[in-house]
Structure 1
Amino acid sequence: MHGYTVLMLKLPPENTMYRAFMERDSSFEGIFFVAVKTTGIFCRPTCTARKPKRENIEYFSSPSEALLAGYRPCQRCKPMDAGSIRPDLVDRLTEAVEQAPARRITDRDLHEMGIDPSTARRQFQRFFGMTFQAYQRARRMGLALHEIRAGQPVIEAQLNQGFSSASGFWETFKQVFGAPPSQSQHVKCLQAKWIDTPLGAMLALADQQALYLLEFVDRRGLENEILALRRRTRSYIVPGESPILDQITSELESYFQGKSVGFSVPLVLNGSPFEQSVWELLRTIPPGQTQSYGWMAQRIGKPGASRAVGHANGRNILAIVIPCHRVIRSDGSLSGYGGGVWRKRWLLDHESENQSIS
């Protein structure tokens, strides 16, 4: 764990959150969620369960972040609930997921359980803000990324810590990353690493020569980006280490600490010639400065292609390093950002404050 991870700038100060959690302060409902490392469960700040030791606590700003980090919802305080009475169907399905979290429950399985898949989707969407399949994917992704975060190259080491289905977890890992870790020496692989930052966890994928992907783990569509990258590079993705992963971890730490806002890590840009021209232009925008989509379209010789430039920005899978956050609307307002507009604002403010640092 790097020193900058304790900053947690998107959340209240850790001391404040810890006090609120210990006092069950209801004014912090929805502001943060508490995860317990020893149990693998996350809770509301007002949960009445026995309080864990402070060193075993981790904080998240949303239930989806906690799910993607590998935690499961507390059955006592029900942190996924929106406040209304939870439907029996939702209870039944979440219980089914937790009985075998690595197993994918298909529409056929739902029919065999006497449940209409469309009803399941609607009730989950209404109650959790996500479909049942999305909930399952978040749990499966959390399990897979938990391996990366732990830095364990062998899945069995994690299975002994409470995963209920060894074969199911291996199948989930293969579905997401392409191959089990045991095959990494026999196929073309990209190594994957979980990197904690003040703006939330990021996933980095690299080989021994260059960085291929750097994304916030709660980015919508991350699983599809990983699968697309696998197809383009004809690679499998496994937990591991490489000099490139060490370099990007170190450079991100320096970036968030304000020691350096530049990056020198080698990159592989997988995109069309137009997309690559947009991404290369993005890298010329100095930290602390912004440009518009129209400006970018003019500079690449395609006036009027502002929307296409925006789409190319959205397909950038190297967050921060290729700084699409430095592009704003012509009226000066912030536009969409894959990691969330609040992160875009934070990054721009951070770079503005530290732009004199090379």
Structure 2
Amino acid sequence: MRIVDEEQIDRFYQALLDRSPEYVGSFFVGVKTTSVFCIATCRARKPKRENVEFYTGFKDALDAGYRPCKICRPTENAHSAPPQVEQALQLLRQNPKQKLSDFQLRQLGISPEVLRRWFGQHYGLTFQAFQRMLRINTALEELKTGKRALETAYESGYESLSGFAYTYKKLTGASPMHNTDSAVILIHRFTTPLGPMFVCASEQGVCLLEFVDRRMLETEFQDLQRRLQARIIAGENQHTRQAEQEISEYFAGTRQTFSVAIHAPGTAFQQAVWQALLNVPYGTTASYQAQANVIGKPQAVRAVASANGCNRIAIIIPCHRIIGKDGSLTGYAGGLERKRWLIAHELEHASQPG
């Protein structure tokens, strides 16, 4: 939303002049003379007051026709984890079985309140719940190798097998003593130049990659869990890590094709449409009609468009490359300005090896 309150605009403009870090993410400023938008701490030369517009979200700035500033990288840095959160995440990466209490966090100079707010905003759960998910995911992997449930429970920070079994079943839907084939979908959040994304992966491969503000994302989560008969919990595996790396390379302009494994459940028709999407070359576009022709269903243009809309794996399965028959941009769940940016990005780098 564009901010129109003059008092608020004055306050934000002064924060921009002061490069105030506490305002990072509170507003995004569009500069009319350069057509870029920035965050409060941008090091670029400051524009005049009459040449700026303020927005509450980066997507609003994108929709208004502004592009992300290459100096402050607003869509990444406004949503990246602050130092205290990154420190806590690093501790968990080093030892996923670790159970960090509020007392331990404070001893390390980490505010539990900061963690609580950040995880609530970006994951919809508390830091303690996030920790539990990581420990259970680690336990699940160990149980699959034949490790005893009692040993795993104590090593995961639980004081009793019953407490471990209760949490394990609540998160995975199965008992750790009787079922080591529990199916889970791991979800991981990372930032990109167009905003943060969620990547979900099963043991078979990536099953979801979406911008966190995608419309109907909760519905996608529910449908995915139903189709795979699995629970979504926080965590990482080789597929989520590979996807994050390859997407980073894509945005850097050094990758044009993806090799990460894909696990995309759907109907036979949807699978055919998604395969046709995978065959649309980097740096090119195609129409819904062309897609319909490719799969041998020339009359099924609307059904093809619907199947495109059901694609859960953005960018890797490139539904952003599909445009109207007349060359116009058509619907994209991530927003038309993101679609425009992605097409322009690929055109810019299409002649380069990748």
Q: Please, what TM-score do these two structures have when normalized by structure 1? A: 0.57
> 1:33 Cα deviation (Å)?
6.0
> 1:334 Cα deviation (Å)?
0.6
Distance 2:57 2:48 in 1: 12
Match of residue 199 from structure 1: 194
Taking structure 1 as reference, are residues 20 and 285 closer, same or farther at Cα in structure 2, changes over 3 Å only? same
Q: Report SS of the residue matched to 1:192.
A: strand
Q: Does 1:290 find its partner at 2:285?
A: yes
> 1:353 Cα deviation (Å)?
1.4
Q: Report SS of the residue matched to 1:215.
A: strand
Taking structure 1 as reference, are residues 217 and 244 closer, same or farther at Cα in structure 2, changes over 3 Å only? same
Q: Report SS of the residue matched to 1:322.
A: coil
In 1, are the aligned partners of 2:75 and 2:194 still within 8 Å (CA)? no
In 1, are the aligned partners of 2:133 and 2:235 still within 8 Å (CA)? no
Deviations 1:20-52 (A, max 9, x none): 99x995754434669xxxxxxxxxxxxxxxxxx
Match of residue 65 from structure 2: none
Distance 1:27 1:16 in 2: 18
Match of residue 334 from structure 2: 339
Taking structure 1 as reference, are residues 291 and 17 closer, same or farther at Cα in structure 2, changes over 3 Å only? same
Distance 1:194 1:262 in 2: 22
2:271 maps to which of 270, 273, 276: 276
Q: Does 1:309 find its partner at 2:327?
A: no
Distance 2:44 2:53 in 1: 13
In 2, are the aligned partners of 1:10 and 1:199 still within 8 Å (CA)? no
Q: Report SS of the residue matched to 1:316.
A: coil
Deviations 1:227-274 (A, max 9, x none): 221222122222222111221111111111111111111101111110
Q: Report SS of the residue matched to 2:218.
A: helix
Distance 1:204 1:245 in 2: 6
Task: Give the number of equivalent residue pairs.
Answer: 244
Taking structure 1 as reference, are residues 298 and 230 closer, same or farther at Cα in structure 2, changes over 3 Å only? same
Match of residue 219 from structure 2: 224
Taking structure 1 as reference, are residues 303 and 289 closer, same or farther at Cα in structure 2, changes over 3 Å only? same
In 2, are the aligned partners of 1:206 and 1:242 still within 8 Å (CA)? yes
Q: Does 1:12 find its partner at 2:37?
A: yes
Taking structure 1 as reference, are residues 12 and 163 closer, same or farther at Cα in structure 2, changes over 3 Å only? closer
Q: Report SS of the residue matched to 2:54.
A: coil
Match of residue 266 from structure 1: 261
Distance 2:243 2:89 in 1: 18
2:136 maps to which of 183, 192, 196: 183
Unaligned runs of 5+ in 1: 1-8, 35-56, 72-145
Aligned alpha-carbon RMSD (Å): 4.0
Who wins on radius of gyration, i.e. which is larger?
2
Q: Report SS of the residue matched to 1:336.
A: coil
Q: Please, what TM-score do these two structures have when normalized by structure 2? A: 0.58
Distance 2:279 2:240 in 1: 23
Q: Report SS of the residue matched to 1:275.
A: helix
Taking structure 1 as reference, are residues 244 and 300 closer, same or farther at Cα in structure 2, changes over 3 Å only? same
In 2, are the aligned partners of 1:32 and 1:60 still within 8 Å (CA)? no
Return the letter of the residue paired with 2:239.
Answer: I
Q: Provide the identity percentage.
A: 36
Q: Does 1:351 find its partner at 2:304?
A: no
> 1:180 Cα deviation (Å)?
4.3
Taking structure 1 as reference, are residues 245 and 303 closer, same or farther at Cα in structure 2, changes over 3 Å only? same
Distance 2:112 2:334 in 1: 31
In 2, are the aligned partners of 1:293 and 1:309 still within 8 Å (CA)? yes
The 5 Å alignment of 1:228-239 reads 228-239=223-234
